[in-house]
Structure 1
Amino acid sequence: MDRFNSITCRITGLMFLAVALTVFLLIYLANEQMIELFQEYLVVQQMETHMGDASGHLSGGGHSMTGMGPLEESFLASVHQSLIWVGLAILATGLAASYTLARSITVPLRNLSRAARKLEQGDYDQKVVVETKDEIGELADIFNRMAETLATNTNLRRQLLANIAHELKTPLTVIQGHLEGMVDGVIAANKEQLLSLHEEAVRLNRLLKDLRDLSLAEVRQLALEKRPTDINQLVGRAVAMLKPLADAKDIQISCSLAAALPEISIDRDRMSQVIYNILVNAVRYSPPKGRVEVTTVLREEDLCRRLTVSVADNGPGIETEDIPYIFDHFYRSDKSRDRKSGGSGLGLAIVKQLVEIHGGQVTVSSQKEKGTIFRVVLPVE
């Protein structure tokens, strides 16, 4: 970058030019006024001195009114020199002040540029010191937040790839092991073994389908077949499907559904998947002889009607530090990722995306050892 085209040089030059023009103009006007006023002063002094002598006044007045003696000229020269020195001092001060001001603007910008260059090269651990509260300080603060977001997203992407590899490895390893055993004659190729392979293939296919749907939903490219639907029917159907699973754990599922709810325009299959995923989690994490309650209610907020589906359980609850991440891909509070403690970790991520592409939102509130409540809020057109 050309040093003379930098912001520092331009700001310094503009401010210095403004100060220089001001100083030169003041010196010029002061000198002109000084000479004129000083001549008038001399004329008045001579007129007062020679007031009584009219002939002397007439004979010498013209010369004295227009000329100055050596003392007067020396006095004016010293004043002019003083003005020049004062002007030079002001110019030096203006130059230093303008340069300092320009540096205060450009140094933080250079730091930002240096950090942005490192960020471009993949070094996301960048911080710019915020020393002011002006526009430069605000820009530095925004940059720091952006760097933190990029670092977080990079870590999440790496974790996502690791989780995908982990989830794909298990069924592929099982399938590969069984097939190798059948080829070597160690495992009999009977119906039971083939069914086991089929289950693993189905689980693998379901995982890939969930990943595909999730990626499409995140970029709002997932096709929806919306039609007017009674949400209470979807809730009742999901509860009926999960009743055998709830009965196996002696869990009671109760419904408190609002009467005469208006039909809402949704994709029935996708919204059934949302309710089903939330209910599965509630039943899975509820203790034996526990209780799950499903409610629907219609509310009017800010002149908009919204339908809320709530699923509450009395399970162990969610740790406070886990709540902000439970809708992330593959996130599991159980870091061991034991199949007995949950699924693949995609269920709630899919729930969030499917609800959002319907124009709604999903929230969660939980208290340790007291249970969890998921709320799906959908707009009523």
Structure 2
Amino acid sequence: MFKNCFEVFIRFLALGCYAFGGPTAHIGYFHREFVEKRQWLSEQEYADTVALCQMLPGPASSQVGISIGFDRAGLPGAFAAFTGFTLPSAIIMILLAMGYSEISGLSFAMGILQGVKLFAVAVVADALIKMGKSLCPDRARVTMAMITAGLMLVMPGVAMQMTVIVVGTIAGYLIYNRNSNAGEFPEIKGRKRIAFAAAALFVVGILVIPAIAAQSDSTALQLFDSFYRSGALVFGGGHVVLPMLQAELVHDAGVTADAFIVGYSAAQAVPGPMFTLAPFLGGVFGGHFNLSYSLVALTAMFAPSFLLLAAAWPFWNRLKAMPKLRSAINGINAVVTGLLLAAFYDPVITLAIKGAEDVALALLAYLLLAVWKLPIALMVPLYAGIGFVLL
């Protein structure tokens, strides 16, 4: 078990050092590393994992990584995956919090960021093409994916995301139930006792801690409450959580508007999960750097994800193993593909592509990555350098 945990930590630590591009790109990185290269999961297992994490609030890409670690080495593996993937960006954001006022003067950083974003376009495109072939092999699932992408582009938001997932689940059950047969399924992992305890702790965090924090003078407890609720109640990842964090933290005694904008910009520039914006905001809360606030914010932001996943794992695996519900998952997977397709346009393309030159560089990145199979560890610094020199 220790060997597997160490391997999980090292693999995710490496990804945490170069996984630029946001949650959609991260899902592409995970697919390439753990499905294609190392074969820790099959295409179907990976798709099921992504589907589960899309249905839960919190940082979807981090939850996918945590689930992969759990599947590989149990609960210790989940912690190893989270720690490895989050540690590099968390350290960077904490260091930036120490001197955030100087970040806005680093003009060369924008060129580097732009180059990395163009590479992320290629990563996501490559993953979408491969996942589309696997998860949407017939007209019905292609149709569901395309309709989902169109609806999300026209009417983005949490309500529409949850609606298309529910409709996709029903459509998958109705379409594929007749042909659903029992077969071999992944080993069922997770304990019900742990699941119920995790669910209870999650509810305590939502209902009890706010009441206690409201009566307390502890800034640390109030910060924990704000970040916990933000991580527990927001679907869609880092960009979606920003309005809630801004409403909770930006005020005279908290985080300044300028610091919030600087932190948001920095969170997009670093690898790993965008939710590591939390330790930056915690660190600058009150106008003076405070390491303990950074750590409180980091813990509170990701705690709901762990609790929700621990509560869902055993039941999700048992549901997956039921043939009739497997047919519903076919619909969920098609809808998830559509969600990723919509995210490929906004924010991946909209943030990265600003003209014909960017299109050409993104196409070159796809050629080098998907056709010539250059390693990602080489491509990231290459495109960071291109961005620094040309953009």
Task: State whether TM-score is above 0.5.
Answer: no
Q: Larger RCO: Structure 1 or Structure 2 (Cα < 8 Å, ≥ 6 residues apart)?
A: 2
Q: Is the strand fraction higher in 1 or 2?
A: 1
TM-score (norm 2): 0.19
Q: Is the helix fraction higher in 1 or 2?
A: 2
